Amino acid sequence: MPRPLPDDLLKVPHRRDVSFARLTTLGVGGLCRWLFEPTTEAEAQAFVRACAREGLPWRVLGGGSNLVVLGDLEMPVMKLAFPKEIRREGNRLTAPASHGHIALAEAAAGAGLAGLEFASGIPGSLGGAIRMNAGAYGREWVDVLTRYRFLTPEGELVEKAPESGEFRYRWSFLTGGRVVLSATADLVEGDPATIRAQVAEYRGKRGTSQPLSKRNAGCIFKNPPGLSAGRLIDLAGLKGLRIGDAEVSPEHANFLINHGRATAAEFAELMAQVQAKVREVHGVELEPEVEIWRE
Ligand SMILES: Cc1cc2nc3c(=O)[nH]c(=O)nc-3n(C[C@H](O)[C@H](O)[C@H](O)COP(=O)(O)OP(=O)(O)OC[C@H]3O[C@@H](n4cnc5c(N)ncnc54)[C@H](O)[C@@H]3O)c2cc1C
């Protein structure tokens, strides 16, 4: 029997029993029993402080574009719902962590600021992108990040510039109960037409190589050192392997797609079969790139 949540936590805006299928781009998962949606930094801080005090496990969700959720989650989940305001000071843009990542890249391009073109095809929220140090085409967030605000696991608010060791390839130290609240990108003035052309080129590349018409969670497995996970899966003959409505994309072997009614269990089974076959054929252990959440 789950224990009742404390009153101060319940003051933070929340909804009950929201399907993870609606909260993630892959579109599977059970119910999020408690979805907290703070609209201010103070509410987010109250959430973290209450959970820390009570010793309650919890999670923070962004756009759900790097997640596979298996089953229901009874623990509180926080999804920031701050006003989507972007502040400009000179060539610096500051946005709340809940801002759409692609929308931020588009706003930068629209303002004639170069530096976020790489982000224009990466879905999810700004907070998720900072946490993951998201990147593409040889650029990543740490290249433009100049300041950020976050909550510690105890709920203390910190604002700082990035330091060495805090960010590396698709990783940051912003895990384990740390919550990104906002981030500032240091950009450069550029020719709007050139920026738009670069964005269009990157989008075109994605359009031809990724199965973007089906629900997916991006690349499912990490590239093993010096190797391509997609190529290993392809060479193992797994493109098109299907369990129910979950399939290894025939277009891009490192994308698993949801044909509409796939379940989390089908994705878990498909991932396990891909890992087993790649182990058997290539002797390589594939590690998930997506996060897997279970109670
Ligand atoms: C079609 C497609 C293409 C993609 N292409 C790329 C790509 O080119 N490059 C790339 O790097 N990624 C790519 N991704 C993966 C994904 O979009 C990124 O990892 C993205 O940055 C995740 O952000 P999110 O808000 O969706 O995070 P979520 O999936 O919601 O969460 C991911 C992790 O971030 C944490 N998190 C979320 N918000 C916060 C916060 N405010 N503070 C602290 N932690 C937080 C979560 O707890 C979780 O651990 C792609 C995904 C898809 C579906």
Q: What is the CATH number of the domain that holds 14?
A: 3.30.43.10
What CA–CA distance (Å, rounded) separates 143 from 131?
14
Which CATH number do you get for residue 275? Answer: 3.90.78.10
Pocket flag, ligand 1, residue 67 (CB < 6 Å): yes
Q: What is the pLDDT of residue 9?
A: 97
Pocket flag, ligand 1, residue 136 (CB < 6 Å): yes
From the number of C-beta atoms within 10 Å of its C-beta (0-12, 13-18, 19+), residue 290 rates as buried
Q: What is the pLDDT of residue 96?
A: 98
Pocket flag, ligand 1, residue 174 (CB < 6 Å): yes
Which CATH number do you get for residue 182? Answer: 3.30.465.10
pLDDT band at 207 (very low <50, low <70, confident <90, very high): confident
Q: Which of 28, 58, 66, 293 to mutate to test the pocket of ligand 1 (most atoms within 8 A of CB)?
A: 66
% of the chain with per-residue pLDDT over 90: 95
295 or 33, higher pLDDT? 33
User: How far away, in angstroms, is 185 Cα from ligand 1 center?
Assistant: 17
Q: What's the whole-number mean pLDDT along residues 106-121?
A: 96
pLDDT tens sequence across 56-81: 999 999 999 999 999 999 999 999 99
Instruction: Give a yes or no: residue 146 inside a domain.
Output: yes
Pocket flag, ligand 1, residue 114 (CB < 6 Å): no
Q: Which domain holds residue 158?
A: 87-194
Give the domain-ending residue among 79, 109, 128.
79
Q: What's the whole-number mean pLDDT along residues 86-91?
A: 98
pLDDT band at 3 (very low <50, low <70, confident <90, very high): confident
Q: Which of 77, 131, 223 to mutate to test the pocket of ligand 1 (most atoms within 8 A of CB)?
A: 131
Q: What's the whole-number mean pLDDT along residues 204-225?
A: 92
Q: Total domain count for the chain?
A: 3
Give the chain's mean pLDDT: 96
Nearest CA to ligand 1 atom 23: 128
Instruction: Give a yes or no: residue 58 inside a domain.
Output: yes
Question: What's the distance, CA 222 to chain centroid?
Answer: 15
Closest by Cα among 276, 272, 243 to 257 = 243
**What length is written for the chain?**
295
The maximal CA–CA distance of the chain, rounded, in angstroms, is 59
Instruction: Check whether 235 has a pLDDT greater than 70.
Output: yes
What CA–CA distance (Å, rounded) separates 170 from 182?
18
pLDDT tens sequence across 236-256: 999 999 999 999 999 999 999
Using the atom order of ligand 1, give the atom closest to the CA of residue 61.
Answer: 30
Rounded to 10 degrees, the C-alpha dihedral 130/227/218/153 comes to -30
User: How far away, in angstroms, is 3 Cα from ligand 1 center?
Assistant: 30
What b/e string do you get for 157-193 counting C-beta neighbours within 10 Å, with b at 16 or more? eeeeebeeebbeeeebebeebbbbbbbbbebeebeee
Q: What is the pLDDT of residue 1?
A: 64
Instruction: Give a yes or no: residue 205 inside a domain.
Output: no
Using the atom order of ligand 1, give the atom closest to the CA of residue 67.
Answer: 29
**Domain co-membership, 128 together with 188:** yes
Beta pairing partners, 11: none
What CA–CA distance (Å, rounded) separates 22 from 19?
6
Instruction: Check whether 289 has a pLDDT greater than 70.
Output: yes
**Domain co-membership, 94 together with 190:** yes
Pocket flag, ligand 1, residue 183 (CB < 6 Å): no
**Domain co-membership, 73 together with 91:** no
Instruction: Check whether 140 has a pLDDT greater than 80.
Output: yes
Q: What's the whole-number mean pLDDT along residues 207-228?
A: 92
Residues whose CB is less than 8 angstroms from the CB of residue 11 and which lie 6 or more positions away in sequence, other chains included: 46
What CA–CA distance (Å, rounded) separates 134 from 169?
8
Nearest CA to ligand 1 atom 51: 218
Using the atom order of ligand 1, give the atom closest to the CA of residue 126.
Answer: 25
Q: What is the DSSP string of 128-197?
A: HHHHHT-EETTEEGGGTEEEEEEE-TT--EEEE---TTSEETTEES--TT-EEEEEEEE-EE--HHHHHH
Q: What is the pLDDT of residue 35?
A: 98
User: How far away, in angstroms, is 257 Cα from ligand 1 center?
Assistant: 17
Give the domain-ending residue among 48, 79, 110.
79
**Domain co-membership, 107 together with 11:** no
